[in-house]
Structures are given as structure tokens and as C-alpha cells.
Structure 1
Amino acid sequence: MIDHAWRNGYSDQQIHNLLESGRTYNYYEYDNEIDNYSQDHYQLLTGWQISPSWYLNVTGHYTRGKGYFEQYKADDDFADYGFQAPFINGDTVYSSDFIVRRWLDNHFYGGVFSLQYRKKGLNVTWGGSANQYIGDHFGEVIWAGYAQDLSIRDRYYFSDASKVDAASYLKAEWNLGKWTLFGDVQGRFIDYKTKGIDNDFRVIDVDQQYVFLNPKAGASVRLNSNHSFYASLARGSREPVRSDFVDAAPGVTPSPEYLTDVETGWNWSREKFRIGVNGYFMYYENN
């Protein structure tokens, strides 16, 4: 254990904690190392049967989230927090112990709808959604061993972010006796913006837009009461998320990810058991 402590740069206090704690060992020694985050969710769900064949569903939602996690930082440099080293009793003090809180303060709201038609083995749905996320990410120093000119809750980083995500889709399933044909296509638009710095002072000014088209098609056939086969082909896409931009090398803009998926399968069922064999091939692209 001593070798482990030396390799990882443990302080004398951390080494004592490692050796004396036994099975109750916890790397974190600060007694208020907490994650204090909460969310309030509000939803309005509505549904109408317009006619024997037509159905409409509309949902609105709002989520309010706010909270932080608190950490004790031993012997960190003032420069790590963007603060000037204080001059105390004739000496410049370059490092101190700190207690910090890293905050997330966000709003998420939007709406979802679907219009469905069902008749004679045909099921068609048109739907969509529009959502916006607005959030602030920031850090505060709530205590320092050498506070000097620092004020409680001085911020050492801040960034705000906004993400608009709008999508619409059309999907259908058509039952033709032994055969069932199915397919859907989704169009999606994302507008992502963030401005400011992260906790390591990396600038994360982002203004990116993405447009995706995600299709899927397939078919299944029931040969008899026991045997059935299916096959499908789909393409999906995913935009970069905040952590991709934060962790990217300087000057590098993260790219979207694309996935092409081919699947096929066979099912054999009896009254008391069922056997299924499935196969798939996935081709992943990240240009």
C-alpha cells in the first residue's frame, strides 16, 4: 500500500488515512464531500381520439434543475483558480487548501406530439418534438486556508449553454397477411451554443448546428404458426455533447457520429418455449 501511495503522490495525511481506515477506507477525507442536486419536473399530457381511426397526443414538459457538488482541495495553487497569490507577513503564499462548489443551474422545456392513423392492418404515425436546454456551469470557492482578498463564493469559472433540439418523424407498419412491412424516417435539427470557460480555464465557445436524417426499413414474415424471420436496415446519428467539446484537443472541433445497422433474425415458438437467433452488423463512422 505504501508503494501505491507514493506512486499516486499521496500526502502524509492521505497515507495515514489509507493505513488506519481498514475496510472503511475512503479516499475522500472531507466530511462534507457531497453531491447536492435536485430537479422539479412538470408535465402536461393530453390525448384525443379524433375518430375511430385517428388519435392525437400532445405533451408539454418543464424541468428545473439546480445543485452542486462540494470538494475539499488540499494544497492547490491560487493560480489554479485564477486568483493572485496573496502576500502575507512579507512572503508570497502560492498555495492553500480550498473548499469549492461546482454548480449546475439549468432549465429544460419543450413539447412532444404524435398523430396516429390505424385501419385495416395499416398503422401510420407522424410525430415530432421541440425542446430547449438552458444551463449555467460555474464554480465557487467557499473557503480558503489563506483567504486574504477572496470573498465567499468567488467564482473561478463560468460558462452558459443553450441547446435547441427539434425533430419530426413519420413511421408506418403494414400488415399483409404473413408479411409485415415497417419503416420510419426521422429528421432532426440541433443548435448548440456555449460560451465561457471550464474549470481548467479551457475556453469552450461553441456555436454549432447539425441536421440529421435517420431512416429505417424492414420486413418480417411468418412462415407458419411456429417459424418467423425478420430483417431490417437502419442508420442513426448522434451530435457531439458538452464533454466532447470540453475534452477536445485545442483547435479540434468534434464530429458527429453515424451508425449503420443491419439486423436479421429467426424465431421458433411453441406453446411453452421459444427459441430465437439474431444477427447484426454495425458500421460506425466518426469523421
Structure 2
Amino acid sequence: MRRRTAALVIGVLAAVCLGLVLSVAYPFTTSAPHAATPGDKFTVGEADAFSATGAITVDGETRLAFDGAVAADGTWYQRVVERDVVSEEYRSPDGPVYRRVTVEDGEAADQRRDQLAEQDRVSLLRESRDGDCVTFVTRRKTTSTTEPVSGTASVFVNNLWVAGYEATGTDSGVTTYRPRPGWYESGATYRLTDVSGTVRADAESAAVTRANVSWQLTRGGTYAQYVLSSLVGDGPTASRTTFSFDGTAPDLERPGWASDDEPNSSDVPRTC
């Protein structure tokens, strides 16, 4: 046991010494770090009708996933998965917003029920429980004509700007970009390594049509901090962002659960 402890201490001290050596060889601040948002930002397409999907994974775990669509008549639907919570929303033109939320945690579900009770324009239509998995279906009255799907899609497009990019070519009005490794400054300083993948975007509007990029991110403002973080800290975080946007008008059908009446069980897929 003492040998293991001594070895661990020696290892940490060696890493610290290495960091001190590197801090002399390298400046305490990064030299000319990339801005996290150089030039024009990528955007979400402005089509009146479209469908989109996206996902963000960290160290192999899906942290956020989304699929949504807006039809030509203004009907919209979106589904968002954030760890143990699955949220779906649907609205036909001039109708209320129906929402189905599935929470895979009994305590969190109780908190959500309390929150729903405090919202004046929201009615709880149904609640079902399967063990710790609880599903709520609500109806919300609204006069807004704004669809939220493009806003949700922007979360994934904005996440692409963790990296900077260089254009590799343009074909048929679409430019392909590749992420760049290196130091970045955006509130905090970090370094990207093992970057890969591409982003395809409209050459004029920078609206993203397809993206699949990944990198290793290590926080630290100097090369010495980067090495110390890699050796004795949490180490680099592996991240991947995917996104696709289709400007073709989709056909949307009302989900079986999006109703004031109790739907037929065969029309509602299990969510738990």
C-alpha cells in the first residue's frame, strides 16, 4: 500500500515538475488563440417548411437529441431527448400546443407535476406511471404563431462553433468546411485535438444542411495547463455534433396522444 501511495505521489510531483518546465518553455497565455466564432456564423435555414434532426454526444453518451418538422400549413412537431427526459410537442394551425413529457425518475416527475399545477394556461390531460417512469400529456392555450422547431435546431448549429473552420471547397452552391485544431478563446480557454468531420452549408447564407464533426476538448489557458489537465485532471472530453436540415415540405400527421380525449392505446407507442 505504501509503495502504491509513494508511486502515486511521485507521479503527481513529476507531472507538476513537467508543468513547471513547460510553463517556462511556453507562455502562460496562449499565443493568438482562435476566436470561437470567426467570421460569419453558421445558421439554420429559413425555409417556411422543413424537417431537421440533431444530436450531441459527450464521451459516447447522448446528452441531447432532437427531431422536428414544420409543414406548409404551419403545423409543427418536435421531439427532444435530454438524458432521462423525453419531450414531444405538436400543434396544428390555430390549435393549442399538446405536449407529452416522459420522466424516468419518480422524484423529478413529482417536481414536474407541481410545476404544471402552477401554470395558468396549461391543463394536465393525462398522467400514467410505469414504475419510476411517469408520462404527462398537457394542453397549452396560445395565440403565438411562432414555431419553436427552428429555435431548437439552432442549439445544435450554435454548438458547431466550439471549433473554428476552414472552407475546403464549394460545389453547386454548398461549401464544405472542416474544423481546425488548436487553442480557442470563448469565455474560457481550451484546446481542441483529434478534430474530424465536415460541415456543409449554403455558400451565401451559411445555413447548415448537414454536419458531422467531432473533437477532443481539454480546458486550460496554457500548454502547461493543458498537459497537467491531461495527466492529472479529468483529461480531454470527446464530443460529437451531428445535424441535418431538409427544406422539403414534410407531411405531418397528428400523433395519437395529441388529443383532449383518451386515445386508443394502439395509437400511442410506449415511451418508457
Give the TM-score of the pair, scaled to structure 1: 0.22
Larger proportion of strand: 1
Q: Which has the higher contact order (CA 8 A, sep 6+)?
A: 2
Give the TM-score of the pair, scaled to structure 2: 0.23
Larger proportion of helix: 2
